[in-house]
Amino acid sequence: MGRIISIILIAATIAFSASWCVHSDGGNDAWPGTSPDSAFATLGAATTSMSPGDSCLACGAFHETLTLLDGSHEGCAFIPWPDSGSWTIDGDTVRYCIYSGTSIGYNNEPVVIIRGMNAIDGADWCVNATSQKAGIVFESCSLDTKSNGIWTYIAYIELDSCFIHTQEQCIRADGSTVRIANSILESDSNYCVYNYQTASILESCGNGYFGYGGVYGYKGLSAIMIEDSFRVRENAIYLWQRPPQSFSLKKCLFVGSKYGIYTVSYSGSSPLVSLSNCTFDSVDYAVYLSSNTHYDLFVSNSVIAHGEIAFHNIHNFVAEGLVIYDFSVDTEGVITPIDYYTFDPQLDSAHVATADSAKMVGVNTAFGRDAPLWDDRGYWFRDDFGTPAIGWRSPYTDTGWPDTECDIIAKKWGIRSPGRRLK
């Protein structure tokens, strides 16, 4: 059964009113640009002719900036020729690949769609959408640059099935809503997603974060992450100053980072951090929260394995089906007792099992530590439909705990294998 991606798309189906053709090698700006045989040579000639809702069919490599303007390009689509899988904009390190003016595809206007584009070597940024109130959807695009990727300010940006590799930030979202699905983001020396202003919203689903750092949130980033994988060197998720009101991770995988979730905050509020079916392996500090803020943490059906400190500074800590294995310190600075459930009818009243009852699975060759408690994608639990769910393996058998012996709470959660904490 295929994975269902629950990201809300605002890009409506658009009935394009006109189509314009551009060919970097075989076109001519003096031609009409209305057919492949009379194609323009530059993107600028096409955008000058376009009206809201039009489409531009592009082929070849363009050494210019694609400029989007208010009143001209709402609801427009820039897509490859039918017999071409992609088209390229080369910034030559001296210009933006895409520049968006203000108030385009925002406030319920049709968004701009960019499909099949390869953007390379933009100056400072490949895509600049900082003039406020731009709405752009990138589909099956790639950005590869020695500088930065996409910069937005009070905007709506969506990426689906994209690849971004940068030296600096892949995406900077200032006061913006960013939705990312089924994409790969890699930054060599900075964060893949960098949120700097208040009121930023990140929805990330089915993505891979690689390189230096994953997600940086400054001043109240609200985030939902589902089925994301973080394999970065430093901080997978770093929250600075004002903590978010809501921060939720579901079925996420953290491997090899210095910090999994790291916060430095200056607030007396009690934000909620929620982790469900997550796996941390070979992460030195899995969940390390600021001592200046009271955090509420809810963890369910997750494993934290191999590192220095599993949990640091938590005001209210509720765990249901949690494994902590091979950490120097399991908990540090936890203010209240842990409200702990394992869904295991055979455990004693302390709800704690011993490490020798665990079943070790797989070998983590990348980081040279002991075998982790997860296989390639952590497919151990199965839901009521038999579909693997990211979590961790039963300590008992390969097939899990018999349905007839699960307690009522385990059945409620649809879990065949009971969770247990390893101490």
pLDDT band at 268 (very low <50, low <70, confident <90, very high): low
Residue 277 pLDDT class (50, 70, 90 cuts): confident
Identify the pLDDT of residue 231. Answer: 93
Q: pLDDT tier at 129 (50, 70, 90 boundaries)?
A: very high
Distance CA 288, CA 263 (A): 7
Q: What is the CA radius of gyration of the chain?
A: 24
Residue 304 has which token pair?
């934290």
Average pLDDT over residues 219-245: 83
Give residue 321's pLDDT: 63
Inform me whether the pLDDT recorded for 404 exceeds 50: no
Give the 3-state secondary structure of the chain: CCCCCCCCCCCCCCCCCCEEEEECCCCCCCCCCCCHHHCECCHHHHHHHCCCCCEEEEECEECCCEEECCCCCCCCEEEECCCCCCEEEECCCCCCCEEECCCECCCCCCCEEEECEEEECCCCEEEEECCCCEEEEEECCEEEECCEEEEEECCEEEEECCEEEECCCCEEEECCEEEEECCEEEEEEEEEEEECCCCCEEEEECCEEEEEEEEEEECCCEEEEECCEEEECCEEEEEECCCCCEEEEECCEEECCCEEEEEECCCCCCCEEEEECCEEECCCEEEECCCCCCCEEEEEEEEEEEEEEEEEEECEEEEEEEEEEEEEEEEEEECCCCEEECCCCCCCCCCCECHHHCCCCCCCCCCCCCCCCCCCCCEEEECCCCCEEECCCCCCCCCCCCHHHCCHHHHHCCCCCCCCCEC
Phi and psi at 403, nearest 5°, equal -60, -35
pLDDT reading at 203 higher than 90: yes
Distances (CA, A) of 215 to 12, 185, 270, 315, 348: 28, 10, 21, 24, 40
Specify the amino acid at residue 295.
Y
Instruction: Tell if the pTM clears 0.85, that is, is over it.
Output: no
More confident residue, 13 or 23: 23
More confident residue, 234 or 133: 234
Domain range list for the chain: 58-341
Q: What is the mean pLDDT of residues 232-237?
A: 96
Residue 337 confidence (pLDDT) above 70: no
Listed in sequence order, the residues at least 6 apart from 200 whose beta carbon sits closer than 8 Å to its beta carbon are 173, 174, 175, 176, 177, 178, 217, 220, 221, 222
Please name the residues in contact with 70: beta carbons below 8 A apart, sequence gap of 6 or more.
Answer: 101, 102, 103, 104
pLDDT digits (tens, 9 = 90+) for 374-386: 333 333 333 344 4
Q: What percent of the chain has pLDDT over 70?
A: 70
The Cα-based distances of 415 to 311, 381, 382, 420 in angstroms read 25, 7, 7, 12
The pLDDT of 246-254, averaged and rounded, is: 85
pLDDT bracket for residue 200 (50, 70, 90): confident
**Angle, alpha carbons 264-270-275 (nearest 5°):** 80
Please give the pLDDT value at position 343.
33
